[in-house]
């Protein structure tokens, strides 16, 4: 019997959740005016303060635009939202994972990792080298447990990102991690090849010790490649079997003129 802490949501959280889902899943198109705050109070049966707190958060997240006296309208979140929206986009309303979003996350991960490793090698402190060694040792000790390896791998990359001394990478990593953790357990099998490749993590850590930026980058790229392969294959297979939205033309087109 595995019990989890009961989720406790404040009213404004619930309002935020409902409205953001409506917007993100396309039930409220960009440009659509939102009901007035007082109208939302009526519909949602909460006080105006709760509604306002939620609207302020939606505004900050880039989902809506509020104008004093003029009303509130839905924005195109693809142009205005930031990475922390990923975990909301990751799941369909039925709880299944949106594979296009998952693929996006894996692609971005693969592009960033080599440069993170490269910079980490150039800028790491001596103490961080030791931390990386401990990390790799911990992974070697957990070689059997894929889930534990996955967590450790995440921590490994977290540490490497800190070593890179690049605040943009750190913040982007935070956003990616939040969404990645949402699908982590679902991916543990397809990523087993990457997770078990302890030698690759070793190579990265060694290159970082040598301050060998290129070596670290290449090792990271190799690790990402043979790790992402399985996922991309899985996604391609699932996509070809679910051609439900294939309304428009497919590949091998030429310029229409």
CA distance 200 to 191: 14
**Residues making contact with DNA (CB under 7 A):** 8, 10-12, 34, 36-39, 46-50, 52, 55, 66-72
Which of its own copies, DNA, none does residue 18 bind to, with CB < 5 to 8 Å depending on kind?
A: none
Q: In the chain, which ranges are continuous DSSP H helix?
A: 11-24, 37-44, 48-60, 77-80, 86-89, 99-123, 126-141, 146-163, 167-187, 192-195, 198-209, 213-241
Q: Print the binding letters for residues 58-77 with its own copies: x by CB under 8 A, - otherwise.
A: --xxx-----x---------
Which of its own copies, DNA, none does residue 15 bind to, with CB < 5 to 8 Å depending on kind?
A: none
CA distance 244 to 138: 45
Interface segment toward its own copies; rule CB under 8 A; list 148-156, 165-173, 191-199, 218-226: 165-173
- Which residues contact residue 119 at a Cβ distance below 8 angstroms, ignoring those fewer than 6 apart? 163, 164, 165, 166, 169, 213
Interface segment toward its own copies; rule CB under 8 A; list 31-39, 119-127, 187-195, 222-230: 119-127
The candidate with the shortest Cα–Cα distance to 233, out of 39, 68, 103, 94, is 103
The verdict on 49 binding its own copies (CB under 8 A) reads: yes
The verdict on 128 binding its own copies (CB under 8 A) reads: no
Nearer to DNA, 36 or 225 (CB): 36
CA distance 203 to 156: 13
The candidate with the shortest Cα–Cα distance to 64, out of 16, 14, 10, 13, is 16
Find the shortest distance in angstroms from Cβ 14 to DNA.
Answer: 7
* From candidates 12, 72, 219, 228, binder to its own copies by CB under 8 A: 12
Which of DNA, its own copies, none does residue 70 bind to, with CB < 5 to 8 Å depending on kind?
A: DNA
Which of its own copies, DNA, none does residue 111 bind to, with CB < 5 to 8 Å depending on kind?
A: its own copies
């Amino acid at each position: 019997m595995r019990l989890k802490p009961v989720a406790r949501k404040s009213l404004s959280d619930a309002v935020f959740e409902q409205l953001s889902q409506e917007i993100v899943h396309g039930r409220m198109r960009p440009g659509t005016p939102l009901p007035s705050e007082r109208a939302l109070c009526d519909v949602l049966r909460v006080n105006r303060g709760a509604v306002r707190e939620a609207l302020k958060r939606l505004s900050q997240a880039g989902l809506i635009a509020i104008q004093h006296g003029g009303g509130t309208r839905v924005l195109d979140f693809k142009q205005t939202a930031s990475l922390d929206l990923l975990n909301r986009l990751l799941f369909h309303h039925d709880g299944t994972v949106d594979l296009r979003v998952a693929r996006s996350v894996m692609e971005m991960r693969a592009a960033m990792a080599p440069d993170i490793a490269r910079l980490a090698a150039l800028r790491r402190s001596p103490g961080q080298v030791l931390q990386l060694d401990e990390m790799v040792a911990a992974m070697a000790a957990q070689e059997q447990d894929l889930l534990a390896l996955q967590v450790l791998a995440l921590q490994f990359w977290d540490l490497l990102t800190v070593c890179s001394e690049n605040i943009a990478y750190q913040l982007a990593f935070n956003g990616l991690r939040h969404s990645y953790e949402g699908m982590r357990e679902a991916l543990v099998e397809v990523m087993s090849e990457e997770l078990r490749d302890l030698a690759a993590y070793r190579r990265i850590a060694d290159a970082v010790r040598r301050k060998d930026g290129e070596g670290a980058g290449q090792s990271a790229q190799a690790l990402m490649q043979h790790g992402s392969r399985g996922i991309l294959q899985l996604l391609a297979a699932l996509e070809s079997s679910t051609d439900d939205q294939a309304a428009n033309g497919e590949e091998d087109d030429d310029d229409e003129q």
